[in-house]
Amino acid sequence: MRGEQLKVLVVDDEPTNVQLLIGALKMHYRVLRAGNGYEAITLIKQEVPDLILLDVMMPDLSGFEVARLIKADEALSSIPIIFLTALDSFEAMAEGLETGAIDYLSKPVDLNLLKLRVHNHLELKQRTDLIREQRDELQRVNDALEEALARIKRLEGTFAICMHCKSIRSDQETWQKIEEYLLEHTDALFSHGICPTCLSRHYPSFA
C-alpha cells in the first residue's frame, strides 16, 4: 500500500448524491468532487485520482463521454472508473463497460457494497501499478546491460598495436594511446603506478 492517502473523484450533478458518497468514503480516502463533465476532466488532469465514481446522466457531457475522453488519454487511461447511475438497462450497462469502465452500479447504491467495490478496485490498481513499475525498472536494467555488452563487444577481436609506441588503431583508422582508447570505449577507471622494470630503468636510484 502506498503511504499517501488514495484519491477518489466523485462526479455527479446532484449535490445530495455527492454528499452521500463523500460521507461513505472520507474516512479512508481523500474524496474529490466535480459537478459536471467539463469540471471533472479539468480536475482529473490536475489531481489524477486513483479511482473515479462517475454519474452517467449529466447536463453537459454524459458520463459515457467523460469516460471515453479519459480512456483516450494515455496518461489517464489506467484510472479505474465505476459508473453510478439510475440507468439499469442491459444496453446502458454494456455501453458503460464498452467505454472502458471497470464496474457499473445502479442507483440507489448500497453504500456497503460500494465501499467494497472501491476497496477491491483500488487494491487491484495498486498491484497493477506495482507490476508496471517493476517492469519499467527491469527494462531500464536491461537497457543498461545492453549498453554495457555493446561496449564490451567493441573491445573484442584483434587490435592493431604499434610495435614501438604501443598506440592502438581505432575504428576511425587513427592511432591513439591505449589509455585514451579505453576511456572512449569503456567505463573503466584508471589509476597510475609504475612497474618494477620501469622503476629500475627510469629511476635507478629508487630501485
| Residue scoring higher pLDDT (197 or 55) | 55
Overall average pLDDT of the 179-203 stretch: 71
Let me know: does 17 contact 86? Beta carbons within 8 Å.
Answer: no
Let me know: does 60 contact 153? Beta carbons within 8 Å.
Answer: no
Three-state DSSP state, 152: helix
Q: pLDDT of 89-100, one tens digit each? A: 888 888 888 998
Q: pLDDT of 44-62, one tens digit each? A: 999 999 999 999 999 889 9
For residue 119, pLDDT over 70 is answered with: yes
Give me the domains of the chain, ranges plus CATH numbers: 7-134 (3.40.50.2300), 156-202 (no CATH)
For residue 157, pLDDT over 70 is answered with: no
Name the percent of the chain in helix, strand, coil, to the closest 5.
50, 15, 40
How sure is the predictor about 20, in pLDDT bands with cuts at 50, 70 and 90? very high
Does an H or E element contain 63, and which?
helix 63-72
What is the chain's mean pLDDT, rounded? Answer: 84
Long-range (24+ apart) CB contacts under 8 A made by 151-160 are 151/185, 151/186, 151/187, 152/186, 154/185, 155/182, 155/185, 155/186
Let me know: does 118 contact 111? Beta carbons within 8 Å.
Answer: no
| Residue scoring higher pLDDT (192 or 20) | 20
| Residue scoring higher pLDDT (119 or 142) | 119
